[in-house]
Structure 1
Amino acid sequence: MAQRWGLRGQSTLTLLLACLLALIPALLIGWQAVDEARRHFATRYAEQYTLLHMQEILAPVSRELALARRFADSVVTREWLDATDDVERRDRFFREAEGFRDQFSGDAYFVVDHDSGDYYYNDAEAPESRQPRYRLSPDDPEDAWYFDSIASNASYNINVNVDGKLGLAKVWLNVAIRDGDRALGMAGGGLDLSRFLDDFLRDRAPGLTPMIVDNRGAIQAHPDRDRLALNSATQRRLDGDVPRLQMLVDDAAQRQRLEDAMLEARRRPGTVLQLDLNLEGRPRTLTLGYLPELQWLFVSALDLESAPVFEGRWFWALLGALALVLTLLMAGVAYGIERLILGPLRRLQHSAQAIADGDYASHLPTERGDEIGELSRAFAHMAGQVERHTQELEATVRHRTRDLETTNAEMAAAQRQIDASLEYASIIQRAILPRHQLETHLAGHQAVLWRPRDQVGGDIYVFRATEAGYLMGVIDCAGHGVPGSLMTMLARAIVDHAILKVGADDPAAILNETDRQNRATLQRESLPASIATNMDMGLVWVERDAGRLTFAGAKMSLYASDGAHLEVHPGGKRALGQKRTMVHENHIMPLRRGWTYSLCSDGFLDQAGGEHGFGFGNRRFEAMLKRHADATLDDQIAAFEAELDAYRGDHAQRDDITLLCFRFDTPPDDGALAHASPT
């Protein structure tokens, strides 16, 4: 017993010594943490104070500014300023102005006639007057605010000023009125300066100095009214004459930092910036936020020494009480843990380690009648349960593994069957493409880029050679993949039937007949609304002997270029099979030797790529055609494909792509027509 008491005393003494040794760095760290927390909360408080007051300033001033702009932009105001001698317009204006005056929170409005310089002002203090209060003069320094404002490009400005002629100190909302480049005058309202500053400083917090400055730093609102930059909107005043925020900073480097922060705040409206500098020789933390609607900066200068973030009188008492409580808890916890928990748990730990190693026969200390004993018995029961569940889980895993292997084998077989079916469908689709016929009849005069998005696609191209000429074209069916490929088979059959019925030399008739047969075959009322059956198609009939080309298109254009010029011949605005029908017409044009003619499905134009993932687009496509028009057709196709891949980058192919090009530098082999195919 004495030995155990000695060990307990030694452990307590050791723990006490460790706490004493840790006390000094703990106090230093704690004081640093308290100081950092104090600074953090103070700066966050200043930031929230700035954001809140920005909104409190923005709401009333924005309302007044919006009302002033409505007043200035009123048709009645503009009509009267355009003809101030018109009695009827004058009467209508003053009646409407009184309505605006009732809405202004300052119960006042003013208007300036630019041609005469007459200044009209009315407020609630006196009966309405329709006579000018005074006349503005460019030579009068007190009137410089108007002439500088009207000469600038700004549509409005907010000017804190004392009107010496009226004897009024207000925050003036000046809105310029122009008719194009001609100045008509100015109109607006005014907030009472004293009331505005009282509202601004109503809930001023200790240690915080709020200010409002304009873009140049001129102080518009400050607790010290002697610092206000009155009439700061007048550009004629020298910078040294205007009280500016920058003038409160003595250090040139800090002044430049302040200028940079003001510029950054204007670039990022809605955010609050912070910087530390000496303001009037004393360290301050400045928070800045920009109000773009008013073109004002709200600035809060925080004095960390004066900001009441923490109260010292309760801080030290709390720290002492906490130290005492921690000491008592330390002593009691050290004894109780060692006596009642740590010893028994070490024995339990040894048994648990044996179970973790797979020895489920290990005996646990279950002889105690307290919670440790209950924990030991529960642990022993859990060990038995774990042993049984482990055995059951191993059996289940073996069974599930066999099931998964069987399922995977079945899925692999199904996938192989699907892949084989798609490969077969792809072979069939490629077989109906007239690539061989094009090579036979127009070797060296044609080239094709055919790139389905999937293994099979919804784009095909057609060709028919007769003794009189050649019919060729591109068909873009709705959808891609397997549904698109089924539509191409149907489209091919319908187009072949249409050619047999109306002939190969009338592309517009072929389009109209194809549209009719498509509607008759695929009746929209029997199909779900989500199923699209429309087709884009472009057909060209080439008469080489006559030097003539006939084109008709349904939402597909024909492009022609010789490298120096580019012509775009648009097709009809509606696709075949759309809900609204249209009659397609032929466009007959000369067949120019050396010019490259191109038909393209919209998959090329809509392909996403570039930095922002936009489509390839008509402008880029037309420039590409013109740039490569002098190359051979095979080189053109290679260049088009390379340029498309470079633009696409990592983006997936969005749709099927078909591009058919042909050119007649020399007449094609006439003997080829003897073997003309019905393809």
Structure 2
Amino acid sequence: MINKDIIDNILDPSSSYFSKKEKIKLLKANSPHPDKENRLAHFIFEQKFNSFIKFIADIVIIIDRKGKILEYQEYNNNKNGEHYFQVADNINDFIITEKDCEFFTKVNQAISKNREFSIQLKSKLKTEIEFEAILSAYKNETCILHIINLSENDLPIENKARLDKLISEKENLERSNKKLISRNRDLIDSINYARKIQRAIFPETTSFQKIFKDSFIHFVPKDIVSGDMYWFAQYEDTIVLAVVDCTGHGVPGAFIAVLAYSLMNKILNESNVKFKQPSELLSDLHFELTNILNYEKSALEVKDGMDIGLCLINESHNLLLFSGAFHNLYHVSNGHLNIIKGDKLTVGGGNYGKKNIFRFNTTMINYDSNDSFYLTTDGYLDQFGGEKDKKFLNKRFRSMIEENHHKPMIDQKEIFTEQFDIWKGENEQVDDILVVGFKCLF
């Protein structure tokens, strides 16, 4: 039988008489399941445990479904708990509810249903000590037992004050969290409704494919609403097509996109498209946008704008006119890819001067019915991915067009979609994605 002096030495954290492993081994041999031959050891263990447990005010214990102690962490300066929690293999060895089965039922519910419970616990020793604790799901089929309080008579005054503060802070956090959840729900509802409005305003792909018989649109917004858009209209034998990338994405980008759509309609309805070049239309758009956003008078230095690829297609003469604001046109003719570069100017995005000195260039293309054309915003090219987590960039985009331009556009859309997903992998999408491919088959 082990004597009292040895037990005291084992349970004294400052003692170096036994090594840590030896202490644990001796304690496990003598507690907390005493037999007839070591009742004295168990009695001393219980007294030491009661002395220690009175000073616990905030401790987290990780257990599995069966109550096995896997890990614990104290949030006060009392380090004696290390001896006791390494000695006890299972929470059921020294802490219980009124009925053990109720405790383990809640453990299983917490893990299976990801729920949280406030529970009452008692020590299993002769001197009963009451606990208040929170039981919540953790990970890998485990849960957290967070002991946050003891019975009022057993707690030191400073610990009770600390716990009162912790409980008050917890309640405040819960109230704040409920408000944030409610506000977030309202915000998401508003943005979802904005998406419905945006989709109702912007043209449908079915309408686009009625004009461009062999075509595709690969459109993947980063957020609920998008700053990328495509716009098209037909005026007698002239078709106008624009691919637009507005400043940012999400709500700010979507606002500028709706504004761009309205301005495009206004400018083209007021213009005789047959006698206009796309460069003039971009200049008009720039002038209108800078006036609406009032750059010159704005004290906030709002520099919102848009990059655009704009095509005017005359089907009677097999003629395509292109102007770009930081956008390029990819043209495949007789198996050869030609990239028509746009100007390094943004529509809006700052005060570039008066309308008559802000000019874009126009490129004229005589096309064949087998020619393929592609317009894209920068989201596809700027996506990070691949083995080295690099941007997709223009080189890979060109190669993809060269390898697949001879295929039907509907098949090309699948290739563009699949290649993007493979490249992105587990990375977050960095921007809105919009790629438009078409042949001039009218």
TM-score range for the pair, normalised by the shorter chain length: 0.5 to 0.7
Residue 426 of structure 2 aligns to a residue in which SS?
Answer: coil
Residue 552 of structure 1 corresponds to 323
Cα deviation digits, residues 153-205 of structure 1 (max 9, x gap)? xxxxxxxxxxxxxxxxxxxxxxxxxxxxxxxxxxxxxxxxxxxxxxxxxxxxx
The code of the aligned residue for 1:632 comes to P
Segments of 5+ residues of structure 2 without an aligned counterpart are 1-42, 55-122, 128-151
Contact 1:438–1:463 at 8 Å: present in 2 too?
Answer: no
- RMSD over aligned CA atoms reads 3.2
Q: Is 2:367 the partner of 1:591?
A: yes
TM-aligned CA deviation for residue 613 of structure 1 = 2.7
Contact 2:247–2:304 at 8 Å: present in 1 too?
Answer: yes
Residue 613 of structure 1 corresponds to 389
Residue 479 of structure 1 aligns to a residue in which SS?
Answer: coil
Cα deviation digits, residues 104-158 of structure 1 (max 9, x gap)? xxxxxxxxxxxxxxxxxxxxxxxxxxxxxxxxxxxxxxxxxxxxxxxxxxxxxxx
Residue 405 of structure 1 corresponds to 174
Q: Distance in 2 between matches of 1:613 and 1:529?
A: 36
Change (3 A) 1:392 1:585: closer
Residue 246 of structure 2 corresponds to 477
Q: Distance in 2 between matches of 1:530 and 1:636?
A: 42
Q: Distance in 1 between matches of 2:413 and 2:205?
A: 17
Change (3 A) 1:396 1:585: closer
Contact 1:462–1:473 at 8 Å: present in 2 too?
Answer: yes
Contact 1:448–1:659 at 8 Å: present in 2 too?
Answer: yes
Change (3 A) 1:589 1:440: closer
Q: Is 2:390 the partner of 1:603?
A: no
Change (3 A) 1:356 1:481: same
Residue 417 of structure 1 corresponds to 186
Q: Distance in 2 between matches of 1:624 and 1:504?
A: 34
| Identity score, percent | 25
Matches within 5 A, 1:289-328: none
Residue 570 of structure 1 corresponds to 341
Cα deviation digits, residues 333-379 of structure 1 (max 9, x gap)? xxxxxxxxxxxxxx9998543323559x99xxxxxxxxxxxxxxxxx
Matches within 5 A, 1:106-117: none
Change (3 A) 1:630 1:482: same
Q: Select which of 260, 281, 284 maps to 1:491.
A: 260
Matches within 5 A, 1:415-564: 415-436=184-205, 438-439=207-208, 441-442=210-211, 444-505=213-274, 506=276, 507-527=278-298, 531-562=302-333, 564=335
The code of the aligned residue for 1:583 comes to R
Q: Select which of 559, 571, 580 maps to 2:352.
A: 580
Q: Distance in 2 between matches of 1:487 and 1:451?
A: 18
Change (3 A) 1:645 1:530: farther
Residue 65 of structure 1 corresponds to none
Q: Distance in 2 between matches of 1:554 and 1:501?
A: 22
Contact 1:538–1:552 at 8 Å: present in 2 too?
Answer: yes
TM-aligned CA deviation for residue 416 of structure 1 = 1.1
Matches within 5 A, 1:8-27: none
Matches within 5 A, 1:341-352: 352=48
Residue 377 of structure 1 corresponds to none
Cα deviation digits, residues 505-526 of structure 1 (max 9, x gap)? 4322211100111121123234
TM-aligned CA deviation for residue 611 of structure 1 = 2.9
| Relative contact order higher in (CA < 8 Å, ≥ 6 apart) | 2
Contact 1:562–1:626 at 8 Å: present in 2 too?
Answer: no
Q: Select which of 627, 638, 645 maps to 2:403.
A: 627
In terms of fraction of residues, the more helix-rich structure is 1
Q: Distance in 1 between matches of 2:181 and 2:161?
A: 30
Change (3 A) 1:436 1:622: closer
Residue 106 of structure 2 corresponds to none
Contact 1:563–1:628 at 8 Å: present in 2 too?
Answer: no
Contact 1:426–1:455 at 8 Å: present in 2 too?
Answer: yes
Residue 60 of structure 2 corresponds to none
Q: Distance in 2 between matches of 1:547 and 1:619?
A: 29
Superposition TM-score, scaled by structure 2 size:
0.61
Residue 193 of structure 1 corresponds to none
The code of the aligned residue for 2:302 comes to I
Matches within 5 A, 1:179-328: none
Matches within 5 A, 1:111-126: none
Q: Distance in 2 between matches of 1:634 and 1:440?
A: 11
TM-aligned CA deviation for residue 662 of structure 1 = 1.1
Contact 2:214–2:439 at 8 Å: present in 1 too?
Answer: yes
TM-aligned CA deviation for residue 396 of structure 1 = 5.0
Contact 1:544–1:591 at 8 Å: present in 2 too?
Answer: no
- Give the count of matched residue pairs: 302
The code of the aligned residue for 1:615 comes to K
Contact 1:562–1:630 at 8 Å: present in 2 too?
Answer: no
Cα deviation digits, residues 89-118 of structure 1 (max 9, x gap)? xxxxxxxxxxxxxxxxxxxxxxxxxxxxxx
TM-aligned CA deviation for residue 391 of structure 1 = 4.6
Q: Select which of 419, 423, 433 maps to 1:657.
A: 433
The code of the aligned residue for 1:629 comes to H
The code of the aligned residue for 2:181 comes to A
Q: Distance in 1 between matches of 2:153 and 2:374?
A: 79
Cα deviation digits, residues 38-86 of structure 1 (max 9, x gap)? xxxxxxxxxxxxxxxxxxxxxxxxxxxxxxxxxxxxxxxxxxxxxxxxx
Q: Distance in 2 between matches of 1:408 and 1:431?
A: 34
TM-aligned CA deviation for residue 387 of structure 1 = 3.4
